[in-house]
Amino acid sequence: MSVNTSDKALTGHMLYMRLLEAGDGHQPLATLRYLRGVLEQLFRHLTRNEARSFSNLFARMQFYFDKHGVAADQRPFYAFLLPKL
């Protein structure tokens, strides 16, 4: 059996492992901070090849969703865009 070591597979596995760690008995506020970090890491990865900079997570997400035609009612991640905790 071959092991898929593509960039996508490694990043997907790493993010999955980080999500599993979120439930490791943290307090609710610490869990939210942790999940926001995972979300930021995901969108940095998704926009890594873009020839532009982003001022914050909201801008990065908005760009990605607009570029890929994600409808407004399909954008559930905005709940994590709380002020920096």
pLDDT classification of 52: cutoffs 50, 70, 90: very high
pLDDT on residue 20: 82
Yes or no: say if 42 and 15 are a contact pair by the CB < 8 Å rule: yes
> Of the segments 19-23, 76-80, 81-85, which one has the largest average pLDDT value?
19-23
State residue 18 phi and psi, 5-degree precision. -65, -35
* pLDDT for position 9: 65
